[in-house]
C-alpha cells in the first residue's frame, strides 16, 4: 500500500475530515493518514464525544477495500492489536476491551472508531485512533494517559509513524495468515476474561461470563443457564462480582 500523509494544526475531527474529503483521497492501494495537533470535536463510538487535548494522538486512516474483503469484520480488532503491540514494546501491558478499547489497569488509554460506507464499487473505510499520550488526565478518573504510565513525554510524530508502519505490517500478516494468529493474541489479552460482563447490543442486554473470542472474532459469553452466546458487536460493561 502507498501511504499519503496529511497533517493539520487543527481539525474538528480527523474522521470527519477524512469522510468529507474521501473522494479526493481514495484510490485502490493507497492509505491516507490524517493527523492533527488539536482536535476540537473528536467523535467516539455510539455518537459519544472523544476529548483529545493537544499532545494526544488523533489519527485517521482512510482507504478502500473490496466489498468481499475478509478484513472488513476484523478492522477494529486489527487496530486494537496494532496499539496493543506498540504498548507491549513500550513495556505497558494493556488489555483489550472488546472490540476496540485499550485499557491499562482498568482505565481507558485509547479508543478506535471504524466507519465504513459504500464507495463506488468498493467499501470506504475511515478508521480513527485516539490515544491519551502527553496530556495528563484531569477530569476523567476512568481514563489514563501514556505520560502517567511512562513518566515521560512521547514523541508524537514518531508514534504516528510507528503506528502506520505497524498497521501496514498487520495488513500484510492478515493477508498471509488470516485472522487465526490475531485471534490468539487478542483473546490472550482480552479485558475481563473469565469475569462477568453485560453486553449491550442495540436495545438488548446480555449478561454472562466472558469466555473468549470465536474463530470469527465474536465475543463468547456463557450465561448463568449455561447457554453460549456469540456477539459480533456491542458495548461491554464489567460487572463486579456480588457476594
Ligand atoms: C471511542 O473510544 O469511542 C473511539 C474514540 C475514537 C477517537 C478517534 S480520535 C481520531 C479519530 N477522529 C475522531 O473524531 N475520532 C477518532
Buried b (16+ CB within 10 A) or exposed e, 52-76: bbebbbbbbbbbbbeeebebeebbb
CA 215 to chain centre: 19
Q: Whose CA is nearest to atom 11 of ligand 1?
A: 128
pLDDT per position in the chain (243 positions), as tens? 899 999 999 999 999 999 999 999 998 889 999 999 999 999 999 889 998 889 999 999 999 999 999 999 999 999 999 999 999 999 999 999 998 899 999 999 999 999 999 999 999 999 999 999 999 887 778 999 999 999 999 999 999 999 999 999 999 999 999 999 999 999 999 999 999 999 999 999 999 999 999 999 999 999 999 999 999 999 999 997 654
Cβ neighbours of 189 (radius 10 Å): 18
Q: Is there an atom of ligand 1 within 6 Å of 208 CB? A: no
Per-residue 3-state assignment (H helix, E strand, C coil) for 139-160? CCCCECCHHHHHCCCCCHHHHH
CB 1 within 8 A of CB 171: yes
Q: Whose CA is nearest to atom 15 of ligand 1?
A: 43
* Cell 482507504 sits on residue: 63
Q: Is there an atom of ligand 1 within 6 Å of 17 CB? A: no
User: pTM for the whole thing?
Assistant: 0.95
Give the helix ranges, DSSP H, for 102-153: 146-150
Cα-to-centroid distance, 241 and ligand 1 (Å): 31
Q: Is the peptide bond preceding residue 99 cis, with omega within 30 degrees of 0?
A: yes
E-strand ranges in 57-154 read 57-65, 95-97, 101-104, 107-119, 122-131
Amino acid at each position: 500500500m502507498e501511504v499519503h500523509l496529511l497533517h493539520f494544526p487543527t481539525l474538528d475531527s480527523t474522521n470527519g475530515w477524512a469522510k468529507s474529503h474521501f473522494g479526493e483521497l481514495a484510490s485502490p492501494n493507497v492509505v491516507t493518514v490524517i493527523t492533527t495537533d488539536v482536535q476540537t470535536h473528536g467523535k467516539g463510538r455510539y455518537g459519544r464525544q472523544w476529548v483529545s487535548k493537544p499532545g494526544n494522538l488523533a489519527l485517521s486512516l482512510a482507504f478502500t477495500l473490496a466489498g468481499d474483503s475478509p478484513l472488513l469484520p476484523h478492522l477494529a480488532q486489527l487496530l486494537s492489536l496494532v496499539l496493543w503491540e506498540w504498548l507491549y514494546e513500550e513495556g505497558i501491558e494493556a488489555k483489550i476491551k472488546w472490540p476496540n478499547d485499550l485499557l491499562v489497569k482498568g482505565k481507558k488509554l485509547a479508543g478506535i472508531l471504524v466507519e465504513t460506507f459504500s464507495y463506488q464499487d468498493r467499501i470506504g473505510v475511515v478508521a480513527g485512533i485516539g490515544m491519551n499520550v502527553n496530556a495528563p488526565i484531569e477530569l476523567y478518573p476512568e481514563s489514563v494517559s501514556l505520560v502517567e504510565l511512562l513518566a515521560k513525554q512521547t514523541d508524537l510524530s514518531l508514534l504516528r509513524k510507528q503506528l502506520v508502519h505497524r498497521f501496514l505490517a498487520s495488513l500484510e500478516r492478515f493477508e498471509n495468515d488470516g485472522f487465526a494468529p490475531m485471534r490468539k493474541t487478542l483473546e490472550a489479552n482480552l479485558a475481563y476474561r473469565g469475569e462477568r460482563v453485560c453486553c449491550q447490543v442495540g436495545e438488548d442486554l446480555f449478561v454472562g461470563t466472558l469466555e473468549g473470542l470465536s474463530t470469527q472474532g465474536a465475543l463468547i459469553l456463557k450465561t448463568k443457564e449455561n447457554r453460549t452466546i456469540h456477539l459480533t458487536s456491542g458495548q461491554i460493561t464489567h460487572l463486579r462480582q456480588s457476594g
